[in-house]
Amino acid sequence: MSADRKITAARSVLLLDAPFFGALLLSLKMIPDPTCKTAWVDGRSIGYNPKFVDGLSHDQLVGLLAHETMHPALGHPWRRDGRAMRNWNIACDKAINTTLRDAGFTLPDNAYYAEGDEVGKSAEWIFGRMQEEESNQPQDEQEPGEDDGEQDEQGEDSDGEQDGEGGEGDGDGESDQLGEVRDAPTGTDADGEETPTEQDWKEKVAVAAINAQAQGNLPAGMARMIERALKPRVDVRSLLLRFFSERATGDYSWTRPAVRYIPQGLYLPSLETKELGEVALMIDTSGSMDNVALARARSIVESVIDECNPASVAMYYADAAVQHVDHFAKGEPLIWPGKDTKIGGGGTDFRPALEAIERDETPVCVVCISDLAGTFPEVAPGLPVLWLSTEEDATAPFGETVYIDE
């Protein structure tokens, strides 16, 4: 049977037996592409090498098409954001394949699967941990191509070939089994059709999921993955900026009257400046904290504090007790512990740190960076509290909780 007939048969199976995948697959054009090693997807098309398809069993081909369909369903072609192509492809595959396997699909040999803490996590989360693991390896133990500096933003290696799954430069062959996630193209295709956007795909996914659930054909694990994919992405920086802005106090000036009241014959002072008092930061240094998520939280906090320029910043490092406190004056850059500096590392009890911050009486608000796995006080502190959580499904019993979405 020819490759195109095998693909037609596999698509028919998905339409009849797995309507969620079958409906979404109809949105993707199938393109024979002998120049690729296995297959690829970019949100508009699925390209495949006919020889690779010929070597797959019927069940493996059905699994391959479901796999490729899930990449745009989860927004992968739009979310690489300059990450190294090869590791991004692996992370995307891990985010998908374990759930597909659990749903009963058969995938080609040597597919990547999520393991341990990776299970149920996003491609961004998995990619970040892969990068951290590689950065901790001695340079002579790193595999060729692991260094991001060896790739340009388009994922090409020094020979000019497309890197990542499906590229010729991988060398080990294992990463070529399921193809590559290519960045979504822009503009129109050869037929003059506009390229679907990530939002277009979210709408397709929502409709397909509703229809599949109505038919009882959407596995629970897949339903949870789709629910997370459709959840609006939160702009953590904007929320933190708002949190600080609401705590800022204004100074009034009579030299510049409030213009809006002059027509009423009222000469009132205008709000000239808004200043933010001392901000307290509580950094969870317990053993359960994730270094990658913590680094992202620090980056966000630093950028917002630099913009808001509070009167001062007090940084409390705490696990079951307050381990260290640093104070920074207005405009002074924050200094975080070095990568190899160990502060704390035990269990988590938020009470000592929050009590110490309240006793200070200087801070106008508190920002806590934590995985929220600890003991909370029975009574909320008298200060506004914003929790930057490194765990997606965790919520603090008081204050505002925001997940550090990667």
User: In this structure, are 37 and 95 located in the same domain?
Assistant: yes
pLDDT at 155: 40
Number of domains in the chain: 2
H or E segment at 11?
Answer: helix 3-17
pLDDT digits (tens, 9 = 90+) for 235-284: 888 899 999 988 887 655 555 565 665 666 655 555 555 789 999 999 99
Is the pLDDT assigned to residue 45 strictly greater than 80? yes
Can you read off the two tokens belonging to residue 320?
A: 């079951």
Higher pLDDT, 123 or 135: 123
User: In this structure, are 62 and 137 located in the same domain?
Assistant: yes
User: In this structure, are 264 and 286 located in the same domain?
Assistant: yes
Last residue of a domain, one of 177, 202, 230: 230
From the number of C-beta atoms within 10 Å of its C-beta (0-12, 13-18, 19+), residue 256 rates as exposed
Is the pLDDT assigned to residue 331 strictly greater than 70? yes
Q: Please write down the long-range contacts of 194-197, taking CB distance under 8 Å and 24 or more positions apart.
A: 195/43, 195/44, 196/27, 196/43, 196/44, 196/72, 197/78
Which of 179, 137, 156, 175 is CA-nearest to residue 85?
156
Residue 334, SS3?
A: coil
User: In this structure, are 137 and 262 located in the same domain?
Assistant: no
Written as one string, the DSSP assignment of 46-57 is EEE-HHHHHTS-
Report residue 188's pLDDT band, with 50, 70 and 90 as the boundaries. confident
Average pLDDT over residues 307-327: 93
**Size (the chain), residues:** 406
User: In this structure, are 293 and 347 located in the same domain?
Assistant: yes
User: In this structure, are 144 and 255 located in the same domain?
Assistant: no
pLDDT at 251: 52
Q: Which domain holds residue 361?
A: 236-403
Residue 320, SS3?
A: coil
Last residue of a domain, one of 214, 230, 246: 230
User: In this structure, are 220 and 240 located in the same domain?
Assistant: no
pLDDT at 339: 63
User: In this structure, are 226 and 264 located in the same domain?
Assistant: no
User: In this structure, are 222 and 252 located in the same domain?
Assistant: no
Last residue of a domain, one of 202, 230, 258: 230
Higher pLDDT, 250 or 329: 329
Q: How far apart are CA 167 and CA 117, in angstroms?
A: 28
Q: Assign residue 286 the CATH number of its domain.
A: 3.40.50
User: In this structure, are 217 and 242 located in the same domain?
Assistant: no
User: In this structure, are 390 and 273 located in the same domain?
Assistant: yes
Q: Are 176 and 40 in contact (CB under 8 A)?
A: no
| Number of Cβ atoms within 10 Å of the Cβ of 49 | 21
User: In this structure, are 130 and 248 located in the same domain?
Assistant: no
pLDDT at 215: 84
